[in-house]
């Protein structure tokens, strides 16, 4: 996967609460429209009144006209002239994603949002939606109609389509957010600057793709339960939209599987992930590596004991111990390589296994010596006693194995990055 170390693609600054600046809105709410001459006026008036009454910061409402062929452009221009903080822009091509990308890319507001013109979502959810972005707690925020605390009024067909679509997202792209299609979302501008160039879709799949990429990059997505009433006059074509969404899922899934998207430039972009925090006197990543090593060790120990019991049915204690320890050591090295120390790919894999076998030899010496000492103490030790001795010896070998893995087999590679010359 390519890594771009240029300043433009580098790490973003740490999240911080936003402060209002003279002449600049804190929030820019985009309303993408196509042939909405009837609903546009009531929507903008109601939204403007609500923001004026409840929003404590400067705001802007941007009408993004998607090549309308009715009187929508004239209505938008009149609203921009009548209301302070309202502006309109026209695109000569259709596409909700294209409209959002265009307006968000040009906006100087630190928080960017959008909502559907039908105002199906209760506006009381708007402040809870953007508050975590203003405070610096989250990177994106979405309204969700699919939680128990959401109140939704809509037909059975739309309910089924929405839930089926989100189920497909969870099963195919491992998405964890609950509602991809609710037309009520917000994003911090510096996050949008990094994400938008990676989003390919310009239609209805745009915000789903944005969310999947954000989630894969480890960004924080805040969800707000909303009250939502279906618009019976909606012009959205369900079948056509669903078809385009499925195509988008297939395309995005292939790109993610092939590693074609440079998500490494987005991973933990703010530098404030708990795993990135260091403690005085504690080497970087030690706590995470210890946890991973212990988890792998538990499964390895259980596998070792099962293998030892199986081999012990047909051979002596020393031979059974050697065979069980060898097989479990190979699996243990492979698991620790991938899960504990984060080493991926085939490079140096054989060398790591060879080094792991040397570490295994030390463990074999400890356990074999323990068995020899037990045999010297009693002629016919019970099987339970053998297992207890082996577990104790393996605990001592485990501590030594972790130290050798960390310092010798999988040492931390220190990388240097070019200095930012801005």
Contact call for residues 271 and 234 (beta carbons, < 8 A): no
Q: 131-156 pLDDT, tens per residue? A: 999 998 999 999 999 888 889 887 77
Tokens at 66, concatenated: 């998607």
Look up residue 116 and give its two tokens. Answer: 């559907």
Q: Which H or E run includes 143?
A: strand 140-144
Q: DSSP letter string over 297-347?
A: HHHHHHHHHHHHHHHHTTS-HHHHHHHHHHHHHHHHHHHIIIIIS---SST
What is the reported pLDDT for 1?
A: 35
**Residue 49 host element (H or E):** helix 40-54
Query: Tell me, what's the pLDDT at 4?
Result: 37
State the pLDDT at residue 99.
94
C-alpha torsion angle, residues 305, 308, 310, 314 (rounded to 10): -160
pLDDT at 141: 97
> Could you list the active site residues?
207
Count of positions (residues) in the chain:
422
Give every residue of the chain whose pLDDT is below 50, as ranges: 1-11, 268-283, 414-422
């Amino acid at each position: 996967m390519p890594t771009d170390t240029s300043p433009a693609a580098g790490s973003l600054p740490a999240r911080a609460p936003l402060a209002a600046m003279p002449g600049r809105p804190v929030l820019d709410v985009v309303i993408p429209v196509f042939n909405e001459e009837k609903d546009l006026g009531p929507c903008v008036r109601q939204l403007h009144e609500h923001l004026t009454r409840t929003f404590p910061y400067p705001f802007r409402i941007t009408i993004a006209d998607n090549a309308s062929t009715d009187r929508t452009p004239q209505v938008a221009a009149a609203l921009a002239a009548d209301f302070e903080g309202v502006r309109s822009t026209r695109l000569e091509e259709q596409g909700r994603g294209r409209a959002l990308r265009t307006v968000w890319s040009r906006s100087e507001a630190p928080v960017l949002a959008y909502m559907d013109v039908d105002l199906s979502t209760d506006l009381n959810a708007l402040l809870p939606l953007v508050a975590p972005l203003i405070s610096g707690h989250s990177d994106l925020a979405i309204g969700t109609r699919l939680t128990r605390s959401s109140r939704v009024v809509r037909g059975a067909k739309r309910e089924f389509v929405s839930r089926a679509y989100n189920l497909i997202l969870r099963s195919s792209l491992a998405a964890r957010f609950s509602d991809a299609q609710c037309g009520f979302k917000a994003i911090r501008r510096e996050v949008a600057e990094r994400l938008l160039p990676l989003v390919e879709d310009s239609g209805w799949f745009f915000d789903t793709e944005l969310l999947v990429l954000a989630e894969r990059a480890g960004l924080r997505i805040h969800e707000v339960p909303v009250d939502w009433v279906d618009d019976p006059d909606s012009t959205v074509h369900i079948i056509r939209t669903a078809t385009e969404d499925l195509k988008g899922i297939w395309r995005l899934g292939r790109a993610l599987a092939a590693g074609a998207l440079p998500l490494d430039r987005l991973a933990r972009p703010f530098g404030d992930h708990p795993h990135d925090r260091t403690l005085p006197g504690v080497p970087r990543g030690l706590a995470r590596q210890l946890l991973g090593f212990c988890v792998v060790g538990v499964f390895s120990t259980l596998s070792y004991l099962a293998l030892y019991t199986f081999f012990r049915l047909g051979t002596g204690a020393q031979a059974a111990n050697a065979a069980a320890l060898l097989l479990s050591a190979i699996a243990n090295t492979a698991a620790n390589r991938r899960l504990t120390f984060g080493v991926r790919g085939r490079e140096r894999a054989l060398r790591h296994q060879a080094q792991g076998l040397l570490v295994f030899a030390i463990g074999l010496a400890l356990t074999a010596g323990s068995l020899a000492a037990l045999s010297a103490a009693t002629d016919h030790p019970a099987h339970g006693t053998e297992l207890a001795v082996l577990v104790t010896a393996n605990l001592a070998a485990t501590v030594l194995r972790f130290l050798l893995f960390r310092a010798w087999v999988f040492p931390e590679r220190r990388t240097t990055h070019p200095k930012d010359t801005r």
